[in-house]
């Protein structure tokens, strides 16, 4: 028996090549999407748009509404309100709700959901119309994804990475407008995860298919995405390129979610901030004498710097991490800082060292 939620991929669709697409636009537009369960909001007024051929990632902690948003796009959940448009056509609003099989969304599930009794070829071709012309594209897809030699194997004979590629091939086979990936790398070990995600990104880019990807892993989101949307507490709080999101967070909550930060109170005058570390260049402009929290990433703190803006700090601890080390520092006030640096930079516990900031930093009004 086919799982009901697999039908989003298995409507009456045709395929002729591994990289061909429908002539209709495949941009995904979400407007004011809301969803609640038992009176609890799980998606709150979410809006975004994915340009044709782009990879968009919803990044956030577990329970933040990412997967529910994905399920509403695929048609597995009905929104309470809002509009979903796929390929320029409304898939869901207050009067329209297309079933999953009519949305042309190819889904790659966290557990891959391969049919255990079908070989690779039959898994991939399951949702393709049964005629010679349509099936001719399956071999092309298998070749493109690099699993042509595995076409006669059963799922239990495949590695995790191979199963991942079969699931993607099956999602691409019906020539969807959108590919949706729900935490697709969570079952892979660390080394394989990095290798597979690079492969998957290249496959999706070569296919020029619009993609929405859900993850709680920052490294995956940054490596895979053209655009990242940060979801915190069921709200989409910021969108931008991975570089924009990381270097110019729009709130201290986003900055903290994306990694370790050092927070120092200070004042801002235009684009110059001043704190216990001296003067720093800010990513935004403020009014005169604005009280702010200045947010500095550990990699932006430099030791043994001859800059006039450096201050003295004492090294509290050093942790070796293989390709880098983290150093905890104490400023004269007792404020603790964390710095990340190369393993060849000298750092001895108890030493007094000059410390400065070597990049533009963010600040938020107090």
Interatomic CA distance for residues 282 and 241, integer angstroms: 19
197 and 296 assigned to the same domain: no
**Residue 18 confidence (pLDDT):** 36
State residue 71's pLDDT score: 95
Q: Judge contact between 45 and 136, C-beta under 8 A.
A: no
Please report the beta strands in 145-261, taking only residues with DSSP state E, as ranges in sequence order: 178-182, 210-215, 227-232, 235-240
131-156: pLDDT as tens digits: 444 566 788 889 888 899 999 999 99
pLDDT at 16 over 50: no
Statement to judge: residues 93 and 232 lie in one domain? yes
Sign of torsion, CA 300 306 307 310? positive
CATH number, domain of 188, equals: 3.40.50.300
Q: Higher model confidence: residue 7 or residue 32?
A: 32
23 and 117 share one domain = yes
Predicted pLDDT of residue 3: 45
In which band, very low, low, confident or very high, does the pLDDT at 8 lie, cut at 50, 70 and 90?
low
In the structure, what pLDDT confidence band is assigned to residue 308 with cuts at 50, 70 and 90?
low
Task: Among 203, 227, 252, identify where a domain stops.
Answer: 252
First and final CA of the chain: distance in angstroms?
Answer: 58
Q: What is the mean pLDDT of residues 285-297?
A: 95
Whether residue 275 sits in one domain with residue 214: no
Band of residue 245 on the pLDDT scale cut at 50, 70, 90? very high
Count up the domains in the chain and report the number.
2
> Is the domain of 91 the same as that of 125?
yes
Q: What pLDDT band is residue 75 in, cutting at 50, 70 and 90?
A: very high
Q: Do residue 217 and residue 338 come from a single domain?
A: no
Residue 224 sits in the same domain as residue 324:
no
CB atoms within 10 A of CB 259: 12
Q: Return the higher-pLDDT residue of 53 and 12.
A: 53
147 and 42 together in one domain: yes
Choosing from 252, 284, 306, the residue where a domain stops is 252
**Average pLDDT score, the chain:** 88
Tell me what pLDDT residue 268 has. Answer: 97
What is the Cα–Cα distance from 302 to 300, expressed in whole angstroms? Answer: 6
Task: Give 343: exposed, middle or buried? Use CB within 10 Å, 0-12, 13-18, 19+.
Answer: exposed
Please check the confidence at residue 22 and state whether its pLDDT lies above 50.
no
**Which CATH number do you get for residue 277?**
2.40.50.140
Q: Indicate whether 40 and 108 sit together in one domain.
A: yes
Instruction: Determine how many CB atoms are found less than 10 A away from the CB of residue 108.
Output: 24
Owning domain of residue 111: 4-252
- Is 268 in the same domain as 288? yes
State whether 207 and 272 are in the same domain.
no
pLDDT bin (cut points 50, 70, 90) of residue 339 is very high
Of 211, 229, 252, the residue at which a domain comes to its end is 252
- Residue 1 pLDDT: 38
The pLDDT value recorded for residue 113 is: 86
Same-domain status, 303 and 223: no
How do residues 169-222 score in pLDDT, each as one tens digit? 998 888 889 999 998 888 777 777 888 888 889 989 988 999 999 999 999 999
What is the reported pLDDT for 295?
97
Averaged pLDDT for residues 89-117: 91
Q: What is the pLDDT of residues 54-73, one digit of tens each?
A: 999 999 999 999 999 999 99
How many CB atoms are located within 10 Å of the residue 130 CB?
A: 7
């Amino acid at each position: 028996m086919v799982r009901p939620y697999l039908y989003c991929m298995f409507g009456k669709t045709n395929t002729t090549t591994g990289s061909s697409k429908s002539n209709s636009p495949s941009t995904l537009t979400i407007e004011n999407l809301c969803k609640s369960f038992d009176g609890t909001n799980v998606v709150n007024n979410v809006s975004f748009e994915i340009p044709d051929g782009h990879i968009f990632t919803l990044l956030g902690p577990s329970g933040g509404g990412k997967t529910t948003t994905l399920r509403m796009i695929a048609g597995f959940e009905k929104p309470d309100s809002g509009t979903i448009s796929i390929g320029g056509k409304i898939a869901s609003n207050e009067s329209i709700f297309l079933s999953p099989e009519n949305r042309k969304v190819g889904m790659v599930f966290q557990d891959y959901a391969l049919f255990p009794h079908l070989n690779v070829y039959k898994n991939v071709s399951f949702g393709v119309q049964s005629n010679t012309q349509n099936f001719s594209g399956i071999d092309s897809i298998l070749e493109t994804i690099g699993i042509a030699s595995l076409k006669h194997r059963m799922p239990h004979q495949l590695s995790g990475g191979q199963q991942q590629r079969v699931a993607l091939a099956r999602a691409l086979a019906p020539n969807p407008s959108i590919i949706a990936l729900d935490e697709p790398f969570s079952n892979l070990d660390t080394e394989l995860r990095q290798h597979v995600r690079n492969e998957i990104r290249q496959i999706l880019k070569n296919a020029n298919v619009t993609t929405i990807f859900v993850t709680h892993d920052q490294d995956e989101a940054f490596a895979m995405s053209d655009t990242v949307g940060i979801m915190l507490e069921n709200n989409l709080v910021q969108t931008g390129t991975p570089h924009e999101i990381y270097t110019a967070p729009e709130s201290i909550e986003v900055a903290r979610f994306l990694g370790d930060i050092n927070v120092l109170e200070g004042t801002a005058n235009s684009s110059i901030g001043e704190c216990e570390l001296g003067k720093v260049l800010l990513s935004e402009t403020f009014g005169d004498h604005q009280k702010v929290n200045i947010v500095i990433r550990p990699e932006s703190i430099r030791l043994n710097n001859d800059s006039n803006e450096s201050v003295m700090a004492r090294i509290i601890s050093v942790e070796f991490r293989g390709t880098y080390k983290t150093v905890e520092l104490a400023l004269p006030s007792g404020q603790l800082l964390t710095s990340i640096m190369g393993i060849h930079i000298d750092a001895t516990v108890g030493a007094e060292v000059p410390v400065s900031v070597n990049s533009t930093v963010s600040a938020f009004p107090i």
